Amino acid sequence: MSSQSIEALLDVLEKIPDEPAKSGEFALPELMAIACSREVRDDDIVFAGTGLPMLAIMTANLLHAPHAALIYEAGICDGKTMHTPMSVCDVRASYLASTLGGLVDTFAYYLQRGYVSLGFLGGAAIDQYGGANVTSIGEDYFKPDSRLTGSGGNSDIGTMAKRTVFIMLQEKRRFVERNEYTTTPGWWCWDWEKREWKPKKEALKNSPFANCGPEAVVTNMGVFRFDRDGIMYLDTFHPGVPVEKIRDNCSFDLNISRVSGETHYPSYRELFVLREFVDPEGIFLPEPPAYPEMIKRLF
């Protein structure tokens, strides 16, 4: 994107109204990316992966969290991305970066020292306590029904980032009461000495990471959070998705008593930033719905 193009878009951005778009004016992946971006605080140090997490932090940087720093797993710290990276290893993510390192820097220095305040993760399955499985499906670990990709950095990030947000597709088989294999513990952990489940704050009470854990789960159906007992509940439902459908797509008795309403629609300004600045090439987002005439006239 040329400097002239950026200046032109910035001029238009000043005119874009910061009011909610209407139903049909945004795509579901856009809603999910923007819902994730709203989890980013201005003082966050964010560990994000490829895809929607990347779009979320970039959108947040441009709108409400300009001081949030992004760390890519490959070792790029605090880049000011001007072009959407294809992955966490893409050199385009290193533009104006504070440091360029490697895995040792990101995991041993930033993460293990407790600097990371927010991590974005995915998973094949998640249990009602926020524990994630990216290892294997099936009761027998040695002869699983499906062997998955493995932890990578999932367990490290989910255990040591102060807050974690999961981004997942929701299906009944993915939202389970207890994982058959827990790669990344949620708010309840297995005590190997006493052979029982315990709240993380109790199981890891002598660890600096006892209070680190999942804060939200953003799916294609809604946004979930965790109560004081570390149990998942439904916070908001996406437009057009009945609460009962969300409940039916969980293998546990989902708490829906705390639903606060629909997930807030993206604003026109959020959509404009996401489409024109963050992913204008459509690398991770589908072809978006057309802007309404009132926005088109501003171009």
CA distance 172 to 174: 5
pTM of the model: 0.91
DSSP structure string for 11-49: HHHTTS--SBPPTTSS-HHHHHHHHHHTT--TT-EEEE-
292, 6 Cβ separation under 8 angstroms: no
Q: With contact defined as beta carbons under 8 Å apart, do 75 and 101 qualify?
A: yes
Pinpoint the alpha helices (H) of 228-278: 243-248, 268-272
Percent of the chain with pLDDT over 70: 97
**CB under 8 Å to 76, separation ≥6 — which residues?**
88, 93, 94, 97, 100, 101
- pLDDT at site 141: 87
Question: What pLDDT shows up at residue 133?
Answer: 93
> Which neighbouring-strand residues pair with 237?
222, 262
* Block mean pLDDT (10 aa), the chain, length 299: 61 86 94 95 89 88 90 84 76 82 87 93 92 90 87 89 94 93 90 85 88 96 96 97 96 96 95 91 90 87
Residue 67, pLDDT score: 92
Can you read off the two tokens belonging to residue 95?
Answer: 């533009």
Identify the pLDDT of residue 5: 62
**Cα 291 to Cα 268: distance, rounded to the nearest angstrom:** 9
Angle at the Cα of 53 (from 48 to 58), degrees rounded to 5?
90
